[in-house]
Amino acid sequence: MAAGKRTAQARGYGGLNFRDLAAEVGIKAASIYHHFPSKAELGAAVARRYWEDTAAQLEAMLAETADPVRCLRRYPEVFRKALENDNRMCLCSFMSAEVDDLPDAVKQEVQTFADVNVAWLSKLLVAARLASARKSEQRARAIFAAVAGAQLMARSRSNISLYDALIDSYRAAGLLPA
């Protein structure tokens, strides 16, 4: 699963390959097929694990500090970590760009990743009194899209300082708390 995650973060769903994954892990490709009979099942499992891990990370951040504003300030760190790891990007953002070629099961897991992020952001925006319950989802979607977009721009230039500058500009503009 970890090797699948690294591969998908670097090359997307199209880059998932049983033979390459088996070589990286040091097993035979047949061993992977034993657990995942198809690439679609492997892709869905990797994407599901990714959003589950992200959801746990977000909840841990909230448990660490009960201050929703502080959590919202720290949210971009989740995406920055992928860039720090060999200029990778969010697995689900990468797969979203491939949506026309994704099996339905993978599409669903990718969409769940976005839904989990938006729900978490929305909950914190309301708790911080930065948005009403009626408007929080709209702002949460804007934050999610902006942060994912900043990651994409930074990755395309292999420039993490660009990511930081974009996040700073979102704070200056009021999208994210300063």
Q: List pLDDT tens digits, range 70-116.
A: 999 999 999 999 999 888 888 888 888 889 999 999 999 999 999 99
* CA–CA dist 19, 3 (Å, integer): 12
Give the pTM: 0.89
Domains of the chain (ranges; CATH) run 44-173 (1.10.357.10)
With 0-12 CB in 10 A as exposed, 13-18 as middle and 19+ as buried, what is 95? buried
Locate all alpha helices (DSSP H) within the chain, ordered by sequence: 2-11, 18-25, 29-35, 39-64, 68-84, 91-96, 104-127, 136-156, 160-173
